[in-house]
Structure 1
Amino acid sequence: MFQQRSPLQVTLHVWHALFMREAMARITGDRLGWAWVFLEPIAHLLIFVGLRYLMGSVKYINGAEFMPWFIVGMVTFLLFSVVMNRSINAITSNRALFAYRQVHPVDTILIRAVLEGLLKTLVFGLVILGAMIFGISIVPVDAIFAVFIWFVMWCFGFGIGLVLSVPVTSTQEFGKFVNILNMPLYMLSGVMFPIQFLPREVRDFILYNPLFHAVELMRSAFFPGYQLMQGISLQYLVFWTLSLVLLGLMLQIRFKARLLAQ
């Protein structure tokens, strides 16, 4: 006789199956496969490494060397960007699986976000090792705080993915507008240049961006004596993160029937 599975066991089996499916799709989805996961941050480094020379005599930013400062900010932002962009299309990509009543739309978003988070964590570790080979020291002075900010940044991307997946699934064209926002957010999150160099009015406006708080807090976890700009707040970042995750979950419950019927 077959033993009846508990709801928790069913959920864990669904998540495992979805994870394996997503992992295989990452390998076989295109010619580059998982190689692009590692090539993407390298491409960013190669494109923007010229900034180090364009900035001339600027070797330190707020107490941190320029290249480690840039690498930490870049990889931290990419975690958010990749998790968000991959999550918003998770429902559409896994539509055939909804024929099984055990699979819910939110499951596909969660598993895709988890996979991307694990991959970006692996990439960050390899970037740190690669930088050390070339004599660039990127070792966090507060590893626990760095892991916490990394997790919060993942949750932020997951929350945005939950929220935006609803309109993107209903209206595919909406996803194009989301992609357009990536570069402005990249610029406004203090990844490429220090926001402190901008006029006060611009700095006050950028402080409304929680991603800027996350990037700066991550840098403070890596560099001893890093000088945070006045107004950077962990509470502000956590508030936005929790709000987005809760809002996203509510939207997934409210529009579940519509998402399944699309």
Structure 2
Amino acid sequence: MSTMQSRTPWQVTRSVWHAMFMREAVSRTMADRMGWFWMIAEPVAFIAIMTFIRSFVSGSHQLITGADFIPWMIVGMMGFFLVRENMVRSQGAINASKALFAYRQVHPSDAVFVRGYLDGLLRTFVFLLFILGGLLLGLDLFPDNAIKALFGWLSLWALGMGFGLVLSVTGTLIPETAKIVGMLTMPLLIISGVILPLNMLPHYLLEYLMLNPMVHGIEFIRAAFFENYKVVHGTSEIYLWLWTLTLNALGLLLHVRYKERLKAQ
């Protein structure tokens, strides 16, 4: 008589993640026919508008030292969108998977991890399309240090995952926080140095803006793409990863502490 072989906890978790990933992927890519269009059209529209504005503000004057303006902005914008997607979309991950919590193997953190992983994959694919398109158009969009660029991209992805873990708990237990985060995304776009270089700002203001870990991640990946680029003074990889590790640890602790409340919410 054969006995049923029990699975290890890791095998169970992997099966849960795979099933939730396929569910989320089909929902994101198939349910909304305009989803792919907006994922590409949004950064294209930003780039077109900012290039148009720059032509009036600075004329032919080069604002960026060591990099062309359009490739510089594309790299920063893609890094920012990678973090923003995890911040914003993770807040609805738990409520979207509420029906699955009837299975004891599924936890609220699984929904956040899977959504963050999928968002990162989609943003990576879009970024690769922009790099390919930029190269075909003659833009300097190939990284001068590919390994460093990959590490910078993964660092921003991990930072976004940390924000997502924390905000998924607060956004579920206190729905008003989701509205606040949505309102902050546009100011963050400006103060993270995505559109205009922060080196232009006075030192006393820059000291406060450098508290934002997204600035450090965006500057790090720009330095990997443009070897002659002069990063904003005070950029630190250690500071970026201190934020990343702290947010991920805090997010996991919050999920452990409020797991039952998140399931019942």
Q: Mind listing any 5+ residue stretches in structure 1 that lack a counterpart?
A: none
- Residue 28 of structure 2: aligned partner: 26
Cα deviation code 1:35-77 (max 9, x no counterpart)? 3222222222223221331321223502111111111111111
- Residue 243 of structure 1: aligned partner: 246
**Cα distance in structure 2, aligned partners of 1:58 and 1:217:** 24
Structure 1 residue 25: Cα displacement: 0.9
- 8 Å Cα contact 1:52-1:67 kept in structure 2: no
Q: How does 1:130-209 map to 2 (within 5 A)?
A: 130-209=133-212
Structure 1 residue 20: Cα displacement: 0.3
- Residue 39 of structure 1: aligned partner: 41
- Residue 50 of structure 2: aligned partner: 48
**Cα distance in structure 1, aligned partners of 2:250 and 2:31:** 31
TM-score by length of 1: 0.96
SS at match of 2:35: coil
TM-score by length of 2: 0.95
Larger deviation, residues 47-56 vs 233-242 = 47-56
**Cα distance in structure 2, aligned partners of 1:260 and 1:168:** 13
Considering only aligned residues, what root-mean-square deviation do their CA atoms show, in Å?
1.3
SS at match of 1:139: coil
- 8 Å Cα contact 1:83-1:161 kept in structure 2: yes
- Residue 212 of structure 1: aligned partner: 215
**Cα distance in structure 1, aligned partners of 2:70 and 2:176:** 37
- Residue 91 of structure 1: aligned partner: 94
- 8 Å Cα contact 1:15-1:107 kept in structure 2: yes
**Cα distance in structure 2, aligned partners of 1:77 and 1:151:** 13
Cα deviation code 1:73-123 (max 9, x no counterpart)? 111111101121111210011111101111000000000000000111111
- 8 Å Cα contact 1:159-1:245 kept in structure 2: yes
Q: Mind listing any 5+ residue stretches in structure 2 that lack a counterpart?
A: none
Aligned-pair identity in percent equals 48
Larger deviation, residues 28-37 vs 156-165 = 28-37
How many residues end up aligned between the 2 structures? 262
**Cα distance in structure 2, aligned partners of 1:202 and 1:146:** 28
SS at match of 1:42: helix
**Cα distance in structure 1, aligned partners of 2:180 and 2:124:** 27
